Amino acid sequence: MMRYAWAVIAAAIGLTVLIGLMLVLAGLSPLRALFVGVNVATMLAYGYDKHRSRPRGRRVPEAALHAMAAVGGTPGGFLGQVVFRHKTRDRKFHLIFWSIAAVQIVVLLTWSRWRHG
């Protein structure tokens, strides 16, 4: 199962890079392009996992979904949960997901405060 998680993460990284490069070429800043790319990849991973859950196929490991959220894909993960109605009842998953989001908010607020004095 661990090998499959790494394959999913590698595919998400590839998709993020591809989307990011396309957006940079379209004129978006690299940081914003990376943010959009990782969130699109995360949302698509949720959709793929939902799709695979119906026929009892090989699923995207929860660790991979959390890793994608942790590197900035929290908005995409949230949208994936809402749009695909996926992982909406799993309390343990939500506890980890919202803990990641809370840490990210604290980091962003701290960084913003430090940067702007």
* Lowest mean pLDDT segment, chosen from 1-10, 13-22, 68-77, 88-97: 1-10
Burial track 81-115 (b if 16+ CB lie within 10 A, e otherwise): beebebbeeeeebeebbeebbeebeeeeeeeeeee
**Would you give the distance in Å from CA 89 to the centre of its chain?**
19
| 3-state SS, residue 18 | helix
Query: How many CA within 13 A on the CB side of residue 3?
Result: 0
Residue 115 has pLDDT above 90, yes or no: no
pLDDT digits (tens, 9 = 90+) for 89-105: 899 999 999 999 999 99
Arithmetic mean of pLDDT, 58-65: 87
Integer Cα distance of 50 and 56 in angstroms: 10
Comparing C-alpha atoms, which of 111, 51, 112, 113 is closest to residue 86? 51
Q: What mean pLDDT do residues 56-71 have? A: 88
pLDDT at position 2 over 70: no
**Full-model pTM:** 0.84
Backbone angles phi, psi at 29, to 5 degrees: -65, 150
Q: What is the mean pLDDT of residues 28-51?
A: 91
Burial class (CB in 10 A: 0-12, 13-18, 19+), 37: buried
Helices 2-25 and 30-53 cross at an angle (nearest 10°) of 140
